[in-house]
Amino acid sequence: MQTIAHWLDGKAFAGTSEATAPVTNPATGAVTGQVALAGVADTRAAIDSAAKAFPAWRDTSLTRRTQILFRFRELLNERREELARLITAEHGKVLSDAIGEVSRGLEVVEFACGIPYLLQGGYTENASTKVDIFSVRQPLGPVAIISPFNFPAMVPMWFFPLAIAAGNTVVLKPSEKDPSASLWLARLWAEAELPAGVFTVLQGDKVAVDELLDNPGVKAVSFVGSTPIARYVYQRGTAAGKRVQALGGAKNHMVVLPDADLDLAADAAVNAGFGSAGERCMAISVVVAVGGSADALVGKIAERAGTIRTGDGTRGADMGPLVTRAHRDRVAGYIAAGESAGATVVLDGRGVEADGAAEGFWLGPTILDHVATDMSVYTDEIFGPVLSVVRVGSYDDALALVNANPYGNGTALFTNDGGAARRFHNEVEVGMVGINVPIPVPMSYYSFGGWKNSLFGDAHAHGADGVRFFTRTKAVTTRWLDPSHGGLNLGFPQNK
């Protein structure tokens, strides 16, 4: 059985801790490997390696950094399916979904290739007599990325391309549930000729996380995960004097007005609710049906969801298993709780006949209608293929429902009324809004992040916020005597 190690100083590193955790294939239930879990000594070794590599990488020219980024981009683009298959084997999402994940991460790499422009400062001549002022953006030092299980490639790529491009060194702590993608990416960086120590992979659990948060060698932390842990990471990291961006959980509502195209809305609800078995922070988990079209809408959603093939992601299924048996059982418990509380089970995924091994962690698409806002299926982030339908009488009721929710990650409105759409995106208290778009994930040159309990800190991921998070601004005021220059060189000037 393979042991999944760390990546330190440009090569695999077994570590000194004897602690490990099993890695399973969710489609078969089989344990496929053991991942090393770093102790404090291993974590400090990773931080020290990143700190040692930082001065030389910080002073590497933007031309050279960009060349390495372009090479990494080309290698990743050529081999995206190879990485996707690795994700499917450990996470369980179907292959097409895994390829989509890699592709969205690749967009951030492409954005980071523009780092020479993104790091441009400002310059003011003669701010005072013969005094000039200019500003520059400089890297922070070693930074940590703590990423979740649901996107083992895309979420780290929200952060590390910009962090590395800006001149920082990175310690990535992936989820112990699907750790192999991070090592694959580390090997790709090495092939792209990234210097050893600039990108480190530290496998681990809370022991490693706490040391990354406490150790003064780490200057900033990017985290994505559940809200309770995001709050913990933010509070502990900032108490240690670090910059922290901690993206938390979500309860994303999709509001469907009576004038909407119900077929389009039903397609969107199914795609956004059951893609990746609902294990997305941007998944639609609540459909808010406004007015008298609710019966027709629920019927159309149920009809479409009933055709989804649940099974092994390598065998052409539409939806794969959940990531672990414990998580599958937890999600099934929410279905039972919703039914007991009075919700109507329109489609029940607990008895799904999956196209895969009997030991897989299967749970089919589930729809609960007549859900009330005090039910656990509404209040909690379930993170599974469970779609709750809440019925309201008016647009104002729907808006109030969304705004009262403690989460503010993503939301969508389906309507053919431009005035209602404009009013909604102006009034709704959510960080990412879709109009007839169910999963409003911004492009890489915009920034990703929610409001309220979906984000701790003031910086979103990638885009302009990402550049600002991984750099700090320095203002320089200068006064010089008139210069004199000498020597001849008729060659065309080159960047090196």
Condensed to tens digits (0 to 9), the pLDDT of residues 409-425 reads: 999 999 999 999 999 99
Known active-site residue 113: no
CA–CA separation, 425 vs 432, rounded Å?
A: 9
Residue 484's pLDDT is 61
Q: Which amino acid makes up residue 216?
A: P
**How far is 114 from 207, CA to CA, in rounded Å?**
36
Note whether 87 and 152 are within 8 A (CB): yes
- Average of per-residue pLDDT across 43-67: 98
φ and ψ at 493, to 5 degrees?
A: -65, 140
Mean pLDDT, range 91-119, rounded to an integer: 97
| pLDDT for the residue 485 | 59
pLDDT at 489 over 90: no
Distances (CA, A) of 151 to 97, 102, 105, 162, 196: 10, 9, 10, 18, 25
Cα(406)–Cα(253) distance, integer angstroms: 12
| Mean pLDDT score, 81-91 | 97
Q: Is the pTM of this model over 0.85?
A: yes
pLDDT at 483: 60
Residue 155 has pLDDT above 90, yes or no: yes
pLDDT of residue 196: 98
Pairing of strands 169-173, 142-146: parallel
Our separate counts of H helices and E strands in the chain read 16, 23
Asked if 407 and 450 touch (Cβ cutoff 8 Å), the reply is yes
**What pLDDT does 301 receive?**
98
Catalytic residue among 201, 281, 302, 343: 281
Q: How many angstroms separate the CA atoms of 29 and 322, rounded? A: 11
Asked if pLDDT for residue 210 goes beyond 90, the answer is yes
Q: What structural domains and CATH numbers belong to the chain?
A: 3-248+454-476 (3.40.605.10), 252-435 (3.40.309.10)
Q: Work out the average pLDDT over 428-445.
A: 97
Distance between CA atoms of 431 and 407, rounded to whole angstroms? Answer: 10
Res 493 pLDDT > 90: no
Give the mean pLDDT of the chain: 96
- What confidence tens digit (pLDDT) does each residue in 240-273 have? 999 999 999 999 999 999 999 999 999 999 999 9
**Residue 381: pLDDT over 70:** yes
What token pair was written down for 293?
Answer: 């079209």
* 56 neighbors 81 (Cβ within 8 angstroms): no
Question: Position of tokens 């279905």?
Answer: 335
Q: Residue 284: its pLDDT value, please?
A: 97
Query: What percent of the chain has pLDDT above 90?
Result: 95
| Rg, C-alpha atoms of the chain | 24
pLDDT class of 349 with cuts at 50, 70, 90? very high
Quick one: CA torsion of 483, 487, 489, 495, rounded to 10 degrees?
-40
